[in-house]
Structure 1
Amino acid sequence: MAAAASLAFSLGGCATVLNGTNVDYSAVTEPGGALVEFTGGEQCTTPCKREFKRKNDQRADISLAGYQSTYVLIQSKLGGSAFGNILLGGGVGAVVDGTNGASNRLYPRPLIVRLAPDGSDEEAVLLDKDGNVVQTVEEHNDSVRVDVAKTIGAKLAGLED
C-alpha cells in the first residue's frame, strides 16, 4: 500500500504524464504576416507557433498594416482529464494536475483570426480549422474577459482603460 502511494506521488497526475504542463500554440491570421505579441513578451509573425504553459491565460495583440489592430484573450480552461483523475480515484493526480495546469487547455486553440481592413465596417472574427466563422473577436473576449482578468489583470483584459 505504501509503495502504491509512493508511486502515485512520484508519477503525478494522469494529465501531467500524458500531456505535460506546456502546449504548442499556433497563431494564424487572414491575411498572414501579422505581428502577434503575447502577454509574456513573446512575439511572432503569422503563421507561427509558440509554446505556453497550459495554466496561463494570455492576451494576444495582433497588428498588420492596412488592418484594424485587435487582441484576443486566450483562456486556460479545465479539460476533461481532470474528471478522469477523479473517476479513477486519482485524488493525488487531480491535485497535481490542478496545481501545475496539466489538465487545462487553452481556448481558442489554434488561434485563427480574420482581420478587418482599416476603414471598413467589418469586425475581426475567430475562425475554426475549416475556415468557418466561430464568432467575432469582441464576442469571444466579452465571454472570457472577467475570468481572464483574474490572472492577467483588469487592464489587459479590457475591463479598465
Structure 2
Amino acid sequence: MKIFTLGLVGLLGLQLVGCASVSNGTTQAIRVETLAANGSIVEGAQCSLTNDSGSFNVTTPGSVLVHRSSSNLSIICKKDGNDPATATVVSRVAGSMFGNIVLGGGIGAIVDHSNGSAYNYPEWVKLVSGQNLTFDRSDFKAGEATAPHQNTEVANKK
C-alpha cells in the first residue's frame, strides 16, 4: 500500500511539472505604449484591454495585469487631440500546455485551458494613433516591443 501511495504521489508531482497553472499563473503583465502617427510618444492615453475573462485599464505608458485566456485581447486607447489607437493581441498556447499533455496530464491540460494559464499574449505592445494593429505572440522577442501587423481597416475616429 505504501508503494502504491508513493507512486501515486510521484505521478501527481510529475503532472505539476508541466502544469501552466503552477508555472505561468492565470495573469500576465502587458506593457502598453501609444504613439502618434508621426512616431512620437503619446503619454496619458487611457486604454481599455478586454478579453472573455474581463476588462482591464491602463494609462500609457504603463503595465497592467490581464487574466490569461484562449481568446484574443482587444485594446482601445484614447486621448483628447489624438485619433483612437486600436489593436488585437493574439493569444497563443504556452509551451507548458504541451508539458501537460506529454506527462499524461489530460486533466492538467483541461484545467489550464479552462483557467487561461495555458495561454500567453505578447508582453509589450505599441499602439499607433489612428491605426488598427495586430500583435501576435508568435512574433514576441524578450526585451523588445512586439512588431505589429497592420490591419487593412483604419481605427474608428471618435
Compute the displacement of 1:41 (Å): 4.5
* Cα separation, 2, equivalents of 1:5 and 1:92: 15
1:26 is aligned to 2:41 = no
Higher helix content, 1 or 2? 1
Gaps of 5+ in 2: 36-40
Report what 2:60 is aligned to.
46
* Cα separation, 1, equivalents of 2:112 and 2:147: 33
- Give the 3 Å change call, closer, same or farther, for CA 94–5 of structure 1 in structure 2: farther
Contact preservation (8 Å) 1:26, 1:50: yes
Identity in percent: 28
Compute the displacement of 1:132 (Å): 8.0
Compute the displacement of 1:14 (Å): 1.3
* Cα separation, 1, equivalents of 2:102 and 2:144: 34
The root-mean-square deviation of aligned C-alpha atoms, in Å, is 3.4
Report what 2:38 is aligned to.
none
Q: Compute the TM-score of the two structures, normalised by the length of structure 1.
A: 0.63
Contact preservation (8 Å) 1:13, 1:95: no
1:109 is aligned to 2:120 = no
* Cα separation, 2, equivalents of 1:20 and 1:4: 27
Say which of 17, 22, 25 aligns to 2:22. Answer: 17
Aligned positions, number: 133
Report what 1:68 is aligned to.
83
Compute the displacement of 1:46 (Å): 0.2
Gaps of 5+ in 1: 117-122, 142-157
- Give the 3 Å change call, closer, same or farther, for CA 60–132 of structure 1 in structure 2: closer
* Cα separation, 1, equivalents of 2:134 and 2:12: 40
Higher strand content, 1 or 2? 2
Contact preservation (8 Å) 2:49, 2:75: yes
Compute the displacement of 1:33 (Å): 2.1
- Give the 3 Å change call, closer, same or farther, for CA 17–85 of structure 1 in structure 2: same
- Structure label with greater radius of gyration: 2
* Cα separation, 2, equivalents of 1:18 and 1:24: 15
| Counterpart secondary structure, 1:33 | coil
